[in-house]
Amino acid sequence: MARMKLDNYVVPAAPRLGFRGWLRWIWRQVTSMRVALILLLLLALASIPGSVLPQWPQNAANTREFMSRHEFWGPLLDRLGFLDVFGSAWFTAIYVLLFASLVGCIAPRAVHHWRELRRPVAATPRSLKRYDGAGPEATDVPVDDAVEAARTALRPRAGILGAITGYRVRVDRRDDGSVALAAETGHVRELGNLVFHASLVLLLLAVAYGTLFTYRGQAIVVEGRSFTNAVLAYDTYSSGKLFNPANLDPFTLRLDSLDAEFSDTGRPLHFQANVTFTDPGAEPVQTDISVNHPLDADGANVYLQGNGYAPVITVKDAAGEVAFSGPVVFLAKDAVYTSTGVIKVPDVSTGEQMGFKATLYPSFAEGPFAVGSVSPNPDNPVIEMLAYTGDLGLDAGVPQNVYTLDETHLSPVQDADGQPVTLRLALGEAVELPDGLGSVSFDALPRYGAFDLRSDPSLPWLLTAAILTLAGLATSLFASRRKVWIVARAEGGTTVVTGAAHAPAHDAGVGGVLERAMAAAVGRDVVEDAGEREEE
Amino acid sequence: MNVTDLSVMALGGATVLYAIAMFAYAIRLARVADEKVAAKAARVVDRDAVAVGAGAPVAAPAAPLAAEVTVASSTPKRSAKAAGIARSTTLMGALLHGVGLLARGIDAGHVPWSNMYEYTISGSFFAVVAFLVIQRRKDIAFLGAGVTGMATIALGLALTVLYKDVDTLPPALQSYWLLIHVSIATIVTGILTVSFIATVLQLMRDSRARGTRWTGDRARFLEAVPTAAKLEALSFRMNAVGFVLWTFTVMAGAIWAEHAWGRYWGWDPKEVWSFVIWVLYAAYLHARTTQGWAGRRSAWLAIAGYVALIMNFTVVNLFFQGLHTYAGS
Ligand code: HEM
C-alpha cells in the first residue's frame, strides 16, 4: 500500500478513490451480476402498473376518464409517469442502466472468451478422485491406441467445425508412463451466451431505429371511394422524428367493396376489403385485405382494422335545395352494429344550419319495450334521428370531432306539443321535417373500412435480432459445459484405463459421454444407461 | 352421443382418473418415505448388531451395504403397488384427456386453444404429457401427486366454471399463428407447471433438511423426495426448456401482432405480463449463477415467474382490457 507522510508519522494512506476511482467503482457495480439481477427484478416490477392503470398511449379515452374520476390520484399518478409507464423517466432509466450493465458485462467477456478459445486445454489433473469416475478397466489395446480411440470418440470431426462442435482435446505423455487425454467443451455455450446478450442490444437498437423512421396513419374509406397516401388524406397521422413525409409513396387505394360475414348467432366470421391498388405510373392491381392479411404497399403495410356502415343521407333545406348529400361514417357500438353518427349541414340556402344525431339499426326490430337491431347484417336497416337547428359552431376555427354535435348553440326540432321529434327512416325512405324546415332521406347503405397504414423499416432487423437471440439462448442453455479425462497406463501385459468427468449438476448426459469414451478406449460396446446419473 | 358430449365425458373421466392417480401417488410417496425411514433404522440396528456380535467395529462399514441389499430384495415393496396404480391411472387419464381435447377440436372446427376453457383443458393436458415424457427417461414419480393434483383441479374448474360451448373463431384468430403461438404458450405452461411442482418440493425439502420448516411427521413424505440440489437440477432443466419456448412464444406473438394489428408490440396487458414472465425467468437464470442467490432465492424467482404465468391467463384475461380480450370470451 502506498504510504504518505503526515507530519513525522508514517500512516497508511486512506483508501481515497478520487474521481476516476469512483467512476471505476461505479462501473464495476453497474456491471456486476448482482446489479443486473436487481435491475431485471426492477424491470419486471416497474412494468406491472402499466397493465393495471389505464395508459395514455394504449387507451387515451379510458385514461382521460380515469383522470376525471380520480381528482386527486389521477393528476398525481399522471405527473409521476404511472399513466404512461413505458415512456416514463424511471422505466427508461431502468432499462438504460440494464443495457449499460449488459454492454459492460459482455464486452470484457467477449475478449476473455476469445483468449480462452486460443489457450490450450488444461492438462489432466493428477488425481481424478474428486470427480465422477469410471473404470479402472483392463484391456489388451495398447495404451496409445486406447487414448487415440477415446480422442476420436470425443472429437469425431477434425478441423474448424470439429473445434466448434466437438471437444477440444489434449494428450499428455506423463512421467509415470501413463497417457492422459483431457477433453473439454463449453465454448459453444459461452459463445451462445455472448450472441444472446449481444442480440438483445441489437434488438433494442432496432426498436430505436424503427421508432425514429416509422410512420403510421389511419383512414376511413367508404365503398366506392379512394384514398391517396398523403399526410392530409389521413384522419390521424403520426411519424417518427426522422421520417420525412415527402417520402410517402403517393399510391391510391380504392375500396371496391367490403365483405362482412357473420354467423347465425351474429359472431363475426370474416372481414375482407376488396381493393384496387394503384401505384403512380403503373397498372392498377386488384387485391384484397383482411384481418391477419395486410397488403404490402411499397414497403408500408395496409391493415384492415375495422369496418362499419356509412349510410348515404340527403338533406334538403326549406327551399327544397340539396344542402347535404353523401355517406356518413357511423361508429358501431355493439356486436350487432347498432351504430351512431352525426350529420352536420352548415350550407343551407335559407334558414338556420341543421344538425342530426342518428342511430342506425342494421336489422331493425321493435319489441314491446324497446327497439334494436337483431343482427349485424343489413336485413332491415332503419335510422332514427333527432334534428337540431341553430349554429353548428363550425366557424370558430376550432377543429371539431366529426362524431359529436356541439349542442351549445343548437335547439332540437320539436313537434306541436313541444317534444323533440324522433325521425325514423327505413332504407329508401324520405321524411319531411316539421315546420317546413326541409326533408331528410336515407338513400343507400354502403360499408366502410377503417385502414391503418404503417411503415417500419426496422422490421427485418428486428426479426434478425430475434432469431439470433433465440439461437444464442438455446445454445447457451442447451449446449453442455463438460470436462472428460481418460488416463491409460500399461500394467503388466495389459492396459488399464480410468476415466472421469465433470459437469454442472443439472447435466444428466455427461455420464453417457464418459461411458462412450471409456468403451471406445477399451474397445468394447457401450453399455446403455451405464452413465445415467441417478436421481436418488 | 354427439361429439360435444363425448368431449365433456372424456374430460370428466380424465378428471376422476387423475384424482385417483393423485391419491395413489400420494400413498406411494408416504410408503417410499416409510421404507426409507425403516431402511435407515434397519441400518442402524444392523450396525449395532454387528458391533455387538463381532465385538469389532471394524466390520461396520460393510454392514449398511448388506442391510440395503436385504431391503431392496425383500418382498415386493408396498410402494410399488401404489406406484403401479398411479402410473396406469395417469396414463389412462391422459388418454381420455387426449380424446376429450381431440373431440373438442373436431367439434369446434379449430384447434382447441382459443378461449379460457380450451386453454385450461389443453394446458393441463400438456402438463401431464410433459410429466409422462420425462417419466419415461427418469424416475420422477415423486412429482406425480402434484402434477395429477393440479390437472384434477384445472380440469374440474374448466368443466364447472369455465365451460363454454364451441364457437367459431373471430377473424383476429383466424391465422396459422394461432396454431404456432398459442400451442407453444400452452405447452410452456404445461412444462413450467411440472417444474413449479419440483421447485416447491425443492424449497420444502430444503427447509426440512435445515430443520426450519416441514420438519414434522406430516411432512415425512419429503423423505421420499430427492435432495434439494437434485430437485434444483431437475427443475432447472425444465425451466430452461420452458424459457426458450417462452422466448419463442413472445417473439411469435410479436410477429402475429404485426400481421394482425399492425404493430409488433403495444404494451397491451397481455404483452406486459408476457414480458414480466420473461424477465422474471431471466432473473431466475441469473440468480442461479449469482453468489447468495443460487438455491432458495432463485427458486423463489422461478415461483414468481410461474405465478405471473398463471396470472397472465387468469386475472389478465378476466379483468384487464386489451386487444387480447377475446381470450376471456
Ligand atoms: C437485458 C438484460 C439481460 C437479459 C434479458 C439477460 C438474460 C439472460 C438469460 C436469459 C440468460 C440465460 C442463458 C444462460 O444461462 O446461458 C443469461 C445468462 C447470463 N447473463 Fe444475462 N441478461 C441480461 C443482462 C445481463 C447482464 C447485465 C449481465 C452481466 C452482469 C449478464 C450476465 C449473464 C451471464 C454471466 C450469464 C450466464 C450464466 C450462466 O453461465 O449460466 N446478463 N442472461
Encode A18-33 in three state secondary structure.
Answer: HHHHHHHHHHHHHCCH
Query: Within a domain: residue B236?
Result: yes
User: Residue B188 pLDDT more than 80?
Assistant: yes
**In the prediction, which pLDDT does A536 show?**
36
Contact A240, A211 (CB under 8 A): yes
Atom 30 in ligand 1: residue holding the nearest Cα: A33
**In the prediction, which pLDDT does B68 show?**
42
Among A339-348, B73-82, B320-329, whose mean pLDDT is lowest? B320-329
CB contact under 8 A, A473 and B244: yes
The total number of structural domains in chain B stands at: 1
With residue B85 as reference, give the H or E element that holds it: helix B78-108
CB contact under 8 A, B244 and A33: no
Atom 7 in ligand 1: residue holding the nearest Cα: B282
Query: Within a domain: residue B241?
Result: yes
**In the prediction, which pLDDT does B123 show?**
93
> What distance in Å separates the CA atoms of residue A381 and residue A312, rounded to the nearest whole number?
12
Q: Which amino acid is at B212?
A: T
CB A33 less than 6 A from any atom of ligand 1: yes
Residue A420 makes CB contacts below 8 A (sequence gap 6+) with: A386, A412, A413, A414
User: Residue A332 pLDDT more than 50?
Assistant: yes
Query: Within a domain: residue B164?
Result: yes
CB A37 less than 6 A from any atom of ligand 1: no
Atom 34 in ligand 1: residue holding the nearest Cα: B286
- Treating both helix axes as pointing N-terminal to C-terminal, what angle do B3-54 and B144-157 enclose, rounded to 10 degrees? 160
CB contact under 8 A, B269 and A51: yes
Q: What residues of B are in contact with residue A56 (Cβ under 8 Å)?
A: none
What are the b/e assignments for B17-44, b being 16+ CB within 10 Å?
Answer: bbbbbbbbbbbbbbbbbbbbeebeebbe
Computed over every residue of chain B, the mean pLDDT equals 85
> What's the average model confidence in pLDDT over B289-314?
90
* Phi, then psi, of A304 in degrees rounded to 5: -90, 110
Atom 12 in ligand 1: residue holding the nearest Cα: B285
**Closest by CA position to A51, among listed B269, B233, B155, B66:** B269
pLDDT digits (tens, 9 = 90+) for A352-383: 889 999 999 999 988 877 788 888 999 999 99
Closest atom of ligand 1 relative to the A200 alpha carbon: 1
Query: Within a domain: residue B292?
Result: yes
Q: Give A184-249 as a DSSP string.
A: EE-HHHHHHHHHHHHHHHHHHHHHHHHHHH-EEEEEEEETT-EEE-SGGG-SEEEE-TT--GGGS-
- The SS3 of residue A482 is strand
Ligand 1 centroid to Cα of residue A181, in Å, is 32
Q: Number of C-alpha atoms within 13 angstroms, CB side, residue B136?
A: 6
Contact A388, A354 (CB under 8 A): yes
User: Residue B327 pLDDT more than 60?
Assistant: no
User: Residue A1 pLDDT more than 70?
Assistant: no
**In the prediction, which pLDDT does A398 show?**
67
Note whether A509 contacts B: Cβ–Cβ < 8 A. no
Residue A196 makes CB contacts below 8 A (sequence gap 6+) with: A468, A469, A472, A473, A475, A476
Query: Within a domain: residue B51?
Result: no
User: Residue B206 pLDDT more than 70?
Assistant: yes
pLDDT digits (tens, 9 = 90+) for A466-480: 999 999 999 999 988
**In the prediction, which pLDDT does A307 show?**
92
Contact B206, B296 (CB under 8 A): yes
Among A285-294, A405-414, B139-148, whose mean pLDDT is lowest? A405-414
User: Residue B202 pLDDT more than 90?
Assistant: yes
- pTM, rounded to two decimals: 0.88
**In the prediction, which pLDDT does A83 show?**
93
**In the prediction, which pLDDT does A34 show?**
86
**In the prediction, which pLDDT does B192 show?**
96
Query: Within a domain: residue B34?
Result: no
**In the prediction, which pLDDT does B46 show?**
60
**In the prediction, which pLDDT does A201 show?**
96
Residue A236: Cβ-neighbour burial (10 angstroms; 0-12, 13-18, 19+): exposed
pLDDT digits (tens, 9 = 90+) for A242-296: 888 888 888 999 999 999 999 888 888 899 999 999 988 889 999 999 988 999 9
> What distance in Å separates the CA atoms of residue A191 and residue A138, rounded to the nearest whole number?
39
Q: pLDDT band at residue A523, thresholds of 50, 70 and 90?
A: confident
Q: pLDDT band at residue A98, thresholds of 50, 70 and 90?
A: very high
User: Residue A8 pLDDT more than 50?
Assistant: no
> What's the average model confidence in pLDDT over A396-420?
82
Highest mean pLDDT among A103-107, A309-313, B135-139: A309-313
Q: How far is A435 from chain B (nearest CA, A)?
A: 47
Q: pLDDT band at residue B76, thresholds of 50, 70 and 90?
A: low
Q: What residues of B are in contact with residue A37 (Cβ under 8 Å)?
A: 283, 286-287, 290, 293
Q: How far is B53 from chain A (nearest CA, A)?
A: 32
Residue A40 makes CB contacts below 8 A (sequence gap 6+) with: A98, B279, B282, B283, B286
Q: For chain B, give the percent of residues with pLDDT over 70.
A: 87
Q: pLDDT band at residue B65, thresholds of 50, 70 and 90?
A: very low
Contact A201, A110 (CB under 8 A): no
What ipTM was reported for this prediction? Answer: 0.88
Higher-pLDDT residue of B57 and A115 is A115
**In the prediction, which pLDDT does B325 show?**
54
Computed over every residue of chain A, the mean pLDDT equals 86
Count CB neighbours of A372 within 10 A.
14
Residue from the list A291, A452, A535 with its beta carbon closest to the beta carbon of B230: A535
**In the prediction, which pLDDT does B82 show?**
87
Among A12-16, B117-121, B164-168, whose mean pLDDT is lowest? A12-16
Please give the residue of chain B at the shortest CA–CA distance from A305.
B261
Contact A20, A27 (CB under 8 A): no
Query: Within a domain: residue B55?
Result: no
**Closest by CA position to A223, among listed A266, A255, A253, A250:** A255
What is the domain range of residue B220?
3-27+77-328
Q: For chain A, give the percent of residues with pLDDT over 70.
A: 93
Higher-pLDDT residue of B17 and B315 is B17
pLDDT digits (tens, 9 = 90+) for A440-467: 999 999 999 999 999 999 999 999 999 9
> What's the average model confidence in pLDDT over B106-117?
89
Among A491-505, B71-85, B96-110, whose mean pLDDT is lowest? B71-85
Q: pLDDT band at residue B193, thresholds of 50, 70 and 90?
A: very high
- The SS3 of residue B149 is helix
Query: Within a domain: residue B63?
Result: no
**In the prediction, which pLDDT does A15 show?**
55
What 8-state DSSP symbol labels residue B215? -
Contact A329, A341 (CB under 8 A): yes
CB contact under 8 A, A44 and B172: no
> What's the average model confidence in pLDDT over B82-105?
94
**Closest by CA position to A407, among listed A363, A453, A357:** A357
Count CB neighbours of A70 within 10 A.
13
Higher-pLDDT residue of A157 and A67 is A67
Contact A452, A238 (CB under 8 A): no
* Phi, then psi, of A171 in degrees rounded to 5: -120, 130
